[in-house]
Amino acid sequence: MESKQRCIIIGASHAAAQLAPVLRQRGWAGTISMISNEYYLPYHRPPLSKDYLAGIKSLEQMLIRSPEVYRKSNISISMGVTATSIDRANKQLILDDGASLEYDKLVITTGARVRKIDIPGSDLKGVFYLRNLNNAQKIKPFTGSDKRAVIIGGGYIGLETAAALRKLNMQVTVLEALPGILQRVTAPEVADFFSRTHREEGVEIVTNEQVIAITGDKKVASVECLSGADYPADIVIIGIGVIPNVELAAEAGLHIDNGIKVDEYARTNDVDILAAGDCTSHFNPIYQRQMRLESVQNAQDQASVVANTLCGKLKPYAALPWFWSDQYDLKLQIAGLCQGYTDIVIRGDIKGSRHFSVFYLQEDKLLAVDAVNSPQEFMLGKRLILQGNSMDAGQLADENIALRGLLASSPVTANA
């Protein structure tokens, strides 16, 4: 391999921190440089709404890799700089400090940013979003025993934040505009389980509640809703989704389809520009559709595909998506994607216990599994999805029948 080749990675988070060292291990002999608009070495983002917010983990404990890994692999990281444009004709990356860097291969791992809410008062002191460490650090001084938090949005980030703030003994209200929490990502039965658990843990969950304004004199005082209700607040945290950071790619003429469009080798429509993680969309061969994922699994697995491609070892991306969410003593592990399901099968006691699993079927085909405190079901569920055999709902529900016994003897082909 040409030792003078220059690889630049834009962004330094889950995808980049996987890519750079793996690229070196696979034999990339040229330079590897990461450009980050944050001020920290790549860190695990999931604890921001979990153990970091609850004061259980520090930044040092959240670093994805130790500083030595980058040093030993001769990977440079420029922090606090933003890439502002890509000059594809001259193969140059332009930065906001005026520098222009030449590249042979460019990898875009710019991730996603929070979706902002456009209502009066959203810029008041005490109103926050949660995407990065800076956000979490600013939130911390507003937390504390008996303070009142209003969380706008009943998705995973909102609910994890609620659980973390309850650990700090705060009074927590979650406001959700839709008729139920987690509505877009899970079955009503699973959402009901999480609603009930949060209520048992002391969180007020209000659905069908549309926020119209945040009020206060300089600092937040309350959240006003269309229903006329008014929720007092010392702090407001907004978690209403994210938007992929595709502008840099779009302005450079790369194809966008709800994310930077990449092929199975993580290549864009420019042979010298690749992309990975939350900012991309790809065709998933298991579900046979184009998709953009927001998960650590996808960021890491796609980054490994980039490393292979850059080293000339073409290996298509065909991983089963999986996610997790930690709330209180609950570990929810999700294998696959449930969109398009026609039936669900519940294995275990969803109404009276804190461990069970829910299987999502499209006719007799298993699409996804939500496993709560049931790691075995999660692991076996992944394998059952990948095998793609027709499933019997009665057998899945019957806890006397071992899931392992439902696995066919044929080997699984995709990367689970």
Ligand X SMILES: Cc1cc2nc3c(=O)[nH]c(=O)nc-3n(C[C@H](O)[C@H](O)[C@H](O)COP(=O)(O)OP(=O)(O)OC[C@H]3O[C@@H](n4cnc5c(N)ncnc54)[C@H](O)[C@@H]3O)c2cc1C
Where along the sequence are the contacts to ligand X (CB under 6 A)? 10-16, 35-38, 45-46, 48-49, 82-83, 109-112, 130-131, 157, 245, 248, 277-278, 294-297, 299, 323-325
Nearer to ligand X, 203 or 296 (CB): 296
Nearer to ligand X, 40 or 287 (CB): 40
Residue 370 CA: distances (Å) to CA of 131, 220, 293, 363, 378: 24, 37, 17, 18, 7
Tell me if residue 214 falls in helix, strand or coil. Answer: strand
Structure tokens at 230: 């008014």
HSE value, Cβ hemisphere, 13 Å, CA-based, for 235: 24
**Residue matched to tokens 């005026």:** 98
Q: Smallest distance, Å, CB 218 to ligand X?
A: 27
Tell me if residue 71 falls in helix, strand or coil. Answer: helix
Q: Smallest distance, Å, CB 107 to ligand X?
A: 11
Nearer to ligand X, 372 or 403 (CB): 372
Q: Smallest distance, Å, CB 150 to ligand X?
A: 17
Residue 279 CA: distances (Å) to CA of 118, 188, 206, 292: 23, 29, 32, 8
| Nearest residue to 367 via CA among 390, 398, 333 | 390
DSSP string covering 303-337, please? HHHHHHHHTT------PPPEEEEEETTEEEEEEE-
Which segments of 78-124 does DSSP mark as H helices, in order? none
Contacts of 19 (CB under 8 A, 6+ apart): 9, 107, 109, 276, 303, 304, 306, 307
Order of all β-strands in the sheet with 127-129: 127-129, 235-238, 148-152, 171-175, 204-206
Q: Smallest distance, Å, CB 38 to ligand X?
A: 5
Nearer to ligand X, 308 or 325 (CB): 325
Nearer to ligand X, 139 or 345 (CB): 139
Q: Smallest distance, Å, CB 378 to ligand X?
A: 13
Tell me if residue 127 falls in helix, strand or coil. Answer: strand
Q: Smallest distance, Å, CB 151 to ligand X?
A: 12
Nearer to ligand X, 20 or 403 (CB): 20
Nearer to ligand X, 174 or 225 (CB): 174
Q: Smallest distance, Å, CB 135 to ligand X?
A: 8
